[in-house]
Structure 1
Amino acid sequence: MEMQKEMSAPLTASHILNIAHRGARSLAPENTLAAARKGLEAGADMWELDIQMTADGELIVIHDSTLKRTSNVREVFPSRKPWLVHEFTLDEIRLLDFGSWFTEQDPFGQIASGMVAESDLASYVQQQAPTLGEALTFTLEHGWSVNLEIKEMSGNPDPEQVVKKILALVEDFDMVDSVLISSYNQAYLAQVRKAHPHVVTGILV
């Protein structure tokens, strides 16, 4: 219970929150547990992640509607263009490397400036995109809070079913008081408020 209270504190804080957007994505590959860990180490109040759905209905932490920007999907599945997330099963996505692009592209120049240790760079190779369950497990184990952004999903899944799956996981982890659910799509947020009025929501504009 004390952990739950500690975790929920940032959501009721009167100060401006420091949120690690997609984790500490300047120091590690975005939306991976490595990026979440870096955000935690940096002292962020919570981290933000993005939710997509796979072909077999699993909730996966990926920002884009396609896999091409942050993985090696073009090499592993060259014939599956345009590589939409909802056209791949979780097992197929597990085959992808979500870390090497970061070490190769250095998107924020932090590797070149010496802010990323060599040992970290080595660990980023073959990073996987976590499931929502794995992301919640990490958050819970570290007494942290998380902002779950429901993305505009390719495949146009039913908002009610998407929200039902998300809330079921949040409840299973007993994390109702330590999550913020946000989206640009108000249909998702309406479903959240309808199903679970106590969950904090945020409209993105």
Structure 2
Amino acid sequence: MTTANFAHRGVRSLAPENTIPAYQMALACRADGIEVDLQVTSDFQLVLFHDRTLQRTTNVAKCFPNRSADPLHSFSLAELQTLDAGSWFITRDPYGTINAGEVSATELRTFENTRIPRFSELLEFLSSNHLKLNLELKKLPRHDQLPSFIEKVFDLLKSSGITPDRLSVSSFEHEYLKKLLEYRPDFELHALIDCKITDRFLSNTPFVQIINANAKRITYKQYRKAQAKGFSINLYTVNDIKKMQEFLNWGVAGIITDYPQHLTTLVEG
């Protein structure tokens, strides 16, 4: 089995995370798929963004100085669309890839004033290529929003034509995954964890077959134990080339990385 190469929040080492340019970069890096984060706005629209607040990767402090520390879900879609979610990457060069000449001037220009994408925009992008989608559901503001949230997600997926073989849904909120089974038992569900893989966890998680585990917390023994019980393992976030090779040798199902370009080089030899 070939280990799948998933670009973490898009190729965030070469473009601003969770933006259309970062997702487009995954094609250039020959990744198998992209991992993205789904949240809701105050008017219950679906957008792609990782952090709870907007400060790290937008100019919210400039546009909404009195609300800069407020959570994303307190902003409407229209308000979010006024934010620049790309220029910070040019200014900070968080991975040193701009300074190293790995990002072209043309690409940098596309980052300026790029917006927080709507989920529908991502699905439109995916309709024209082969990339798989690992969709992480972030925690909702209120638990009673879950049924409406799931219905909205699947309505958009249905209209997009994205087939189940290209989609996996993951979450740290494992109750969300249980609820998803009631709607689409054919979708691949991934339980996200940030702890060791224990016997108790394996026994209490029969509703998934795939675990997305923190690469820093897993051992080969844990991996083999989970595998023996019928689970497949994806590992996040693997950025060290030696670790990539080690996990490839293990035969893990997938690697989620900020550097899919490096993983592609290893896989393709």
Give the alignment's TM-score, normalised by structure 2.
0.69
Give 1:42's aligned residue: 29
1 CA distance for matches of 2:113 and 2:144? 29
**SS of aligned partner of 1:158:** helix
Aligned counterpart in structure 2 of residue 117 of structure 1, from 78, 81, 104: 104
Secondary structure at the counterpart of residue 4 of structure 2: coil
Q: Which amino acid aligns with 2:12?
A: R
Secondary structure (helix, strand or coil) at the match of 2:37 reads: strand
Query: Post-superposition shift, 1:157?
Result: 5.6
Asked if structure 2 preserves the Cα contact closer than 8 Å seen for 1:65 and 1:153, the reply is no
CA distance in 1, matches of 2:87, 2:125: 22
Task: Name the counterpart of 1:10.
Answer: none
Show CA shifts across 1:165-192 (max 9, x none).
1111111112142211100101111111
Separation in structure 2 between the aligned mates of residue 127 and residue 20 of structure 1, nearest angstrom: 19
Mapping for residues 184-203 of structure 1, pairs under 5 Å: 184-203=172-191
**C-alpha distance 45-106 of structure 1, shift in aligned 2 (>3 A):** same
- Aligned match for 2:5, one of 5, 18, 23: 18
Alignment of 1:172-187 (within 5 A): 172-177=159-164, 178-187=166-175
Partner deviation per Cα, 1:16-63 (whole Å, 9 max, x = no partner): 100011001000000001000111110000111100100000000000
Residue by residue, what CA displacement relative to the aligned partner does 1:113-135 show, whole Å, maximum 9, x if unpaired? 11111111121010111111110
Distance 1:126 1:162, change over 3 A: same
Which of 31, 50, 53 is equivalent to 2:40? 53
**Candidates 92, 102, 109, aligned match of 2:79:** 92
Indicate the SS of the match to 1:138.
helix
For the residues of structure 1 that align with 2:100 and 2:79, how far apart are their CA atoms? 35
Greater shift, 174-183 or 69-78, is seen at 174-183
Letter in 1 for 2:70: W
Contact kept, 8 Å, 2:140 with 2:146, in 1: the verdict is: no
Percent of matched pairs sharing the same residue: 35
* Consecutive aligned runs of 4 or more in structure 1 exceeding 3 Å deviation: 153-157
| Letter of the 2:124 counterpart | T
Report the RMSD for the aligned CA atoms in angstroms.
1.3
Aligned to 1:5: none
Q: State how 1:63-74 maps to structure 2 within 5 Å.
A: 63-74=50-61
Question: Aligned equivalents of 1:23 and 1:33: distance in 2?
Answer: 8
Q: Deviation of residue 80 (structure 1)?
A: 1.3
Alignment match, 1:204: 192
The answer to whether the Cα contact below 8 Å between 1:176 and 1:198 also exists between their aligned partners in 2 is no
Whole-Å Cα distance in 2 between the matches of residues 112 and 97 of structure 1? 22
Provide the C-alpha distance between the structure 1 equivalents of 2:143 and 2:96, rounded to a whole number of angstroms.
Answer: 35
Shift of 1:153: 3.4
Cα distance in 2, alignment partners of residues 156 and 94 from structure 1: 26
For 1:46 and 1:93, how far apart are their aligned partners in 2? 26
Give the TM-score, by structure 1 length: 0.90
Summarize the Cα distance change of 1:57–1:162 in structure 2 as closer, same or farther, 3 Å threshold.
same
Contact 2:54-2:68 at 8 Å conserved across structures: no
Measured in 2, the distance between the counterparts of 1:35 and 1:192 equals 28
Distance 2:28 2:96 in 1: 20
What stretches of structure 2 of length at least 5 have no aligned partner?
194-269
